[in-house]
Amino acid sequence: MKRIIAHAKRLFNSYKFICMVFFLIVPLEFIGMFILMTIISVLFFEDPIDEELVRRYMSEEELQIIGSDTLDENVSDNEYLALMVRFMNITCPRRVDRQTQWIGSRVTNKAFTYLYECKMKSGKIDFEKLKKKDIRKLDRKNIVIQRIIRSKRDLIYSFTCPDVTRSIEVVITNEELKGL
């Protein structure tokens, strides 16, 4: 229910003026259409980030640090990555697709890890193909990627699948990241 309300809020906030005008002209049709749009949003679009929740656990200064498009030399790579993990974990879980949910992230001295839960069995996933696809999508200009490279960490995508007891890790080494 919370997820449905979040999608409805996002729709209303995105189209506030249109919603108000449409509601004034044809209120019953608006309500039906808004419910339909909310259902479509829940089924096909990424869950919205709960900004109130994020602001409850992070200061404005911390949000400015992780939201900046430039590499702030006053913030260490370790501090930045720890803040980013905190932000990501506040906003998780997030649906990636029908079979995959991003459940969080973590950072260690050796790696920055994205944690996923899969509904598919591991044998149905070509992890090598997934790694190649992910490497192509990574942007060396991204601040998180720059910080991971500078801190000499690997980037790991860790998948928990229903048919295995341990997570399956797709590792992109620091050297591979440097080669982007």
**What pLDDT, on the 0 to 100 scale, is given for residue 66?**
86
* Average pLDDT of the residues in 16-36: 68
* Average pLDDT of the residues in 57-65: 87
Q: What are 31's two structure tokens?
A: 């309500």
Whether residue 175 has pLDDT greater than 60: yes
* Domain 51-178 class in CATH: alpha beta
* Rg of the chain (C-alpha set): 20
Domain ranges of the chain: 2-44, 51-178
Mean per-residue pLDDT over the chain, rounded: 82
First-to-last C-alpha distance (Å) of the chain: 41
* DSSP characters over 120-136: S-GGG--HHHHHHHHHH
**What pLDDT, on the 0 to 100 scale, is given for residue 149?**
95
Whether residue 91 has pLDDT greater than 90: no
Beta bridge pairs of residue 171: 156
Per-residue model confidence as pLDDT tens digits over 130-156? 888 888 889 888 899 999 999 999 999
- Alpha helix segments (H runs only) across the chain: 2-14, 16-25, 27-44, 51-57, 60-67, 77-91, 127-137, 143-150, 174-178
Q: Are strands 94-95 and 100-107 parallel, antiparallel or unpaired?
A: antiparallel
Q: What are 140's two structure tokens?
A: 């060396």
Whether residue 171 has pLDDT greater than 70: yes
Contact present, 8 and 38 (Cβ < 8 Å): yes
Of the chain, the percentage scoring pLDDT greater than 90 comes to 32
**What pLDDT, on the 0 to 100 scale, is given for residue 37?**
66
* Average pLDDT of the residues in 45-67: 77
* Average pLDDT of the residues in 50-54: 71
**What pLDDT, on the 0 to 100 scale, is given for residue 25?**
73
Beta bridge pairs of residue 12: none
Residues 100 and 114: their CA atoms lie apart, in Å, by 12
Residues 164 and 148: their CA atoms lie apart, in Å, by 29
Per-residue model confidence as pLDDT tens digits over 96-121? 888 888 999 999 999 999 999 998 88
